[in-house]
Amino acid sequence: MSIITTQDGTQTYYKDWGTGQPVVFSHGWPLNADAWDEQLVFLADHGYRAIAHDRRGHGRSSQPWNGNEMDTYADDLATLIQTLDLKDVVLVGHSTGGGEVARYIGRHGTNRVAKAVLVSAVPPLMLKTEGNPGGLPLEVFDNIRAGVASDRSQFYKDLSESFYGANRPTNKVSPGVREQFWLWSMQVGLKGAIDCIKAFSETDFTEDLKKFDVPTLIIHGDDDQIVPLANSSLLSAQIVKDSILKVYPGADHGLFSTHRDKFNSDLLAFLQS
């Protein structure tokens, strides 16, 4: 397996396909790099070097007790980029991975970054606070923690329904896609899974977004039941200077899968622009 080791000894698994300008993908919770396979093959076939890693605690990476928060996630991404000596990188982050990309730029800048893509991403802030009245109440995330802690297998099976919009009458997501989601989710360690809920829900990325100074594409579905559009990408698009916002009508949280052809086409067009 392809492995890099971070400063605290955590081993990070990654896949590295194709040649050309590097495009680095950060996955959502509670998945792993395999969630991006269709995009990795698509871009590698179109002349790009497509790279995706398993976040610490997830997939084939180490499951450390510590470091399951956004600063360390971003530093792990930096270690990957530096170890592979990637330059002119396009960063693509879905959901929690969008927060990881934002925090990377906030902490490490854009010297190695050419463009950024945020997909159904959690920034600027998911949690409802006095300064963020449109966010989701803490009880929502407490319930997620309770579900993962009590019966994570059943919780992930249930979560796949809203993740892919399978509870919508016009949605055609297959049982296989939902089973695949469950399989990936069961590979995240319990400690990392629970800690990551706090990381993606309570981290404020506003100041990180203000540091974006590269072309940025923001994609979100207007029927996202996991990360509601109104308090995420609509706000991020106002913060990130000269960003491009694409809203997919009727699209769910997992639109990179359910709306794969449109998403891949939009992603490729942005890379080529």
- Does the structure show a pLDDT above 90 at 170? no
pLDDT band at 1 (very low <50, low <70, confident <90, very high): confident
Domain of residue 15: give its range. 3-272
Give the CATH number, domain containing residue 160.
3.40.50.1820
Q: What percent of the chain has pLDDT over 70?
A: 100
Structure tokens at 7: 């400063």
Quote the pLDDT of residue 171.
85
pLDDT band at 135 (very low <50, low <70, confident <90, very high): very high
Q: How far apart are CA 169 and CA 209, in angstroms?
A: 36
pLDDT in tens, 216-235: 999 999 999 999 999 999 99
pLDDT in tens, 23-78: 999 999 999 999 999 999 999 999 999 999 999 999 999 999 999 999 999 999 99
Q: How far apart are CA 61 and CA 160, in angstroms?
A: 23
Catalytic residue among 27, 58, 253, 259: 253
Please give the span between the terminal C-alpha atoms of the chain, in angstroms, as a whole number. Answer: 34
Crossing angle of helices 96-108/190-202, nearest 10°? 70
E-assigned strand segments in the chain? 3-5, 11-17, 21-26, 48-53, 89-94, 113-119, 216-221, 244-248
Predicted TM-score (pTM) of this structure: 0.98
Question: Which contacts of 260-265 are long-range, i.e. CB under 8 A and separated by 24 or more positions?
Answer: 260/38, 263/39, 263/119, 263/219, 264/38, 264/39, 264/42
Crossing angle of helices 190-202/138-163, nearest 10°? 110
Q: Confirm if 161 and 167 have CB atoms less than 8 A apart.
A: yes
Mean pLDDT of 134-142: 98
Residue 201 appears among annotated catalytic residues: no
From the centroid of its chain, how far is CA 159? 16
Residue 95 appears among annotated catalytic residues: yes
**If you average pLDDT over every residue of the chain, what do you get?**
98
- SS3 of 263, please? helix
- Does the structure show a pLDDT above 90 at 172? no
Q: Confirm if 213 and 221 have CB atoms less than 8 A apart.
A: no
Quote the pLDDT of residue 111.
98
pLDDT band at 92 (very low <50, low <70, confident <90, very high): very high
Task: Give the C-alpha distances (Å, rounded to integers) separating 209 from 23, 94, 255.
Answer: 20, 15, 22
Residue 259 appears among annotated catalytic residues: no
- SS3 of 31, please? coil
How does strand 11-17 pair with strand 48-53? antiparallel
When divided into structural domains, the chain yields a total of 1
Catalytic residue among 26, 61, 62, 95: 95
Sign of CA dihedral 237, 229, 38, 151: positive
Catalytic residue among 224, 233, 243, 252: 224
